[in-house]
Every structure is written in structure tokens, then in C-alpha cells.
A and B are shown apart, each in its own frame.
Chain A
Amino acid sequence: MTVVPAQQSGGGGGSSGLYDVLELVLDRGLVIDAFVRVSLVGIEILKIDVRVVVASVDTYLRFAEACNRLDLEAGPRKSPGLPEIVGEVTESGARGKSKGALSGAAETISDAFKQARDDGSEEETRSRPRARKSTASRRKEEQE
């Protein structure tokens, strides 16, 4: 899984732009009741909540560590033990960092499309994608 720095910002375009558009293709647009819609099994994963704020112990720990790291970098109260602490925080925080809001979303969605493209092993999920929390935690577990 590619790690995208959370700081990356700026314009649309790129692959995340593509996924953003495909969300519209799947979720909006005209629906005519006289027509049937093809099954969207395998694509529900698009709807998953991958925001930063997921109420979980994992998130809390990550935030706590991120806060330490931030202040250390800002450096108003550097202490002699700094390098060790930085090393430790960076190591344990790295994974969490890579799952920050932006990259987390893009990765999850790109996984979804990869999965949908590769087909084959799509598992049945709920047919309407509105309930997200539970799916989110399940997906999260899978990622751990």
C-alpha cells in the first residue's frame, strides 16, 4: 500500500480525483424506476468512513502521539532526551500517520476499485451503502 504523506495538499486531478468523480457516478444521477440497476455488490466499500476522527482507542493513541510529536517539532521546550523520544514516537506513529484523513480515504477507495476490477473475490455486503459506521470498523480491522 502506497504511503502518501498527509501533508500533501492542493489541486484535484490525479487518481484521487478520479475516485471522487466515480463516487458521483455511483451515487447520483437520474434513476428511472422502470429500469433496473445492476448490482453494486463489491463497491459499497466506497462509502466507508475513513475520516481521521473515528472513535477508537487506536485513534486516540495516534492523536496523543501526534500531539507530542507536533510540540516537539515546534520546539518551545526541547528537553535533553529529545532524540530518543522522537525516534520512538515516529516509529510507533508512522503507521497511524500513513492512515491520516487524506491518504486513508484515497487508499481505501483505490483498494475498492482494485478489488472491483480484479473481481473474483467480492464478498456480499449490504445492498444499500448508507450505514457506514459498522462497515468502517470492520474495514479498519481488516487493515490492522
Chain B
Amino acid sequence: MSTYVYGITAVTHPSLPEGMGGVGDPSRPVRILRQGELAAVVSDAPDGLRPKRRELLAHQNVLSEIGAAGCVLPMRFGSVAPDDDSVTGVLAERADHYLERLRALDGRVEYNIKANHVEDAVLHHVMAGNPEIRALAEANRQSGGGSYEDKIRLGEMVAAAVKDKESEDGPALERALEGVADAVSVGPESTGWLANVSYLVKRESAEDFLAAVERVRADMPHLEVRLNGPLPPYSFVEPGPAGPAEPAGTAAAGADTEAG
């Protein structure tokens, strides 16, 4: 029976969700595998596990439960080990690395921000700031909407202006929030949002962070800003790769050095 792995945490974690329902239908009960100072939160892996909504949610729910009470290194969805022994084997082999990450992320949670333009608002903005577009739109309107070519030309200009605005607003949003976070991880681009950024935030700074998000919403009303968190630190589990430009581990590792 192969083993589904949810996350890695310290064996001292105060409340591991043993017996909670995990992935599968029926849900496979969550088990804890202990190895030295580390614990892996696992369950049996159901045959033919697929990335269905209920499975993704089960994964996320187990991790939320662990994350609510302490630090956890969340696995990406769908990690399956051949058996329990290979899980504990990995824990033993890479104990130092995982313990370092757990220390670095201790007391910190991830908030993910995704933002889009409110379409009408951004179009207003583009029209207001661009006389050429305004003139063309006006000309089109006066000729009853304009010819097909005229419309295309106008649309093309507007699209370019909106795109410029996106590449302006994405980084502006990112900068507005990075000051209140320990680390920043920029997610993949161009996937239905103009900004997709995760912030690592100390639990005690969470209120400051949320206040900063509210300020951004007020300052940039043409953006729809979606906030999710607190989450287990999905984007900060590895020191480097998770955040290409901004090494996610740097700030956290700095904090760790202070502590040690």
C-alpha cells in the first residue's frame, strides 16, 4: 500500500490531526509517522488518486489543520511514497534540511494575493490618460461605431494600454505589501490575474498585513484584490526555487540566524 504525504512537521507539534479524514473516497484516515525530531502526516494512498476537487480540498484541509496549531512544511498535492518506510527514510536522510526550514518558517504563515483589473475602471483610466485613444473612440462613435478596421485599430490600442497598465499595477501592488512581509514569492504570470504574489507573514504581524491590504484596496480601486490566508507556507518551503527573483528563504533565514 503506497503512502500519501500531506506534510512534514516537528514531532513536538502540539496537535497533529491523527484520524482526520484525508484523501480518497471514502476518506483515508490521517496517520502520523515519527522519525527523530520530525513527523510526517500521511494516509494510505487510494488507488487511482486524481486531482479532483474533493481530493485537493482534503489535502488543503489536513494542512490547514496542522498549520493552525504549528508550523508545517506542506507537500505539493499528490505526493505519493511507495510505503511508510520510504517516508521515514527521507525524514531521516534530510532531517537537518527540514528542521532548518521548520525553524525558519516557525510562527509564520502565507498570504496569497491575486489581483485583476476591474474592466470598466481600467478602461476609464486608459481613456482618460490617452488622448489618442479618446480621439479615435470619438471618431468611431461619430461615424456610427466606426468601420471594422477602425474598431480593430481602437481595440488594439486599448488592449496595449490595458496591458501596460497591468504591468504597472502588478509590481505596484507587490511593492505596496512587501514591507509588511518577511518574504515574497511571485507566482506564475499570466494565469488569470495581473498579480499573483504570496507573502510570508509573522503571525503577530498578520493584522498589519491585513491593514496594508485594505489600504491597497482603497488606493487602487480599479483593482479587484483577492486575499487568501493564513495558509500553510506553500510558497516558502524551499529556500530558493519558490521565489525566483526574491529568494524566499533569505529573510526567513536571516530571522533564523538572529534566533540562533
Check B198 for interface membership: any CB of A closer than 8 A: yes
Whether A40 contacts B119 by the Cβ 8 Å rule is no
The proximity string for A residues 52-67 relative to B, scoring 1 for CB distances below 8 Å and 0 otherwise, is 1101010111111111
Whether A20 contacts B112 by the Cβ 8 Å rule is yes
Q: What's the tally of chain B residues with a CB closer than 8 Å to chain A?
A: 81
The proximity string for B residues 201-236 relative to A, scoring 1 for CB distances below 8 Å and 0 otherwise, is 000000000000000010001011011100100110
Whether A70 contacts B51 by the Cβ 8 Å rule is no
Check B156 for interface membership: any CB of A closer than 8 A: yes
Whether A105 contacts B51 by the Cβ 8 Å rule is no
Summarize B's interface: helix, strand, loop or mixed.
Answer: mixed
The proximity string for B residues 173-215 relative to A, scoring 1 for CB distances below 8 Å and 0 otherwise, is 0000000000001011011111010100000000000000000
Cα distance A47–B192 when bound, in Å?
8
Of the candidates B76, B118, B166, B187, the one whose C-beta lies within 8 Å of that of A53 is B166
- Which residue of chain B has the shortest Cβ distance to A102 in the bound complex? B116
Whether B154 contacts A64 by the Cβ 8 Å rule is yes
Q: In A57-113, which residues have CB < 8 Å from any B CB?
A: 57, 59-68, 70-72, 74, 77, 85, 88-89, 97, 100-102, 104-105, 108-109, 113
Whether B155 contacts A102 by the Cβ 8 Å rule is no
Whether A31 contacts B188 by the Cβ 8 Å rule is no
The proximity string for B residues 75-99 relative to A, scoring 1 for CB distances below 8 Å and 0 otherwise, is 1111111000010011000000000
Residue among A42, A52, A67 with the highest chain B CB neighbour number at 10 A: A67
Give A16 Cβ to nearest chain B Cβ, in Å: 6
Whether B53 contacts A116 by the Cβ 8 Å rule is yes
| A21 touching B155 in the complex, CB below 8 Å, given contacts A6-B120, A26-B51 | no
Cα distance A82–B237 when bound, in Å?
58
Whether B198 contacts A43 by the Cβ 8 Å rule is no
Whether A30 contacts B119 by the Cβ 8 Å rule is no
Cα distance A130–B134 when bound, in Å?
37
- Which residue of chain B has the shortest Cβ distance to A88 in the bound complex? B145
11 new A-B contacts, CB < 8 A, other than A22-B60, A31-B79, A101-B192, are A7-B120, A11-B226, A24-B234, A28-B185, A32-B5, A37-B78, A65-B145, A67-B158, A68-B140, A74-B124, A85-B144
Q: Please provide the 9 A-B residue pairs with the shortest distance between their CB atoms, ordered closest to farther.
A: A60-B155, A105-B192, A29-B76, A38-B78, A64-B151, A28-B234, A63-B158, A100-B119, A63-B155
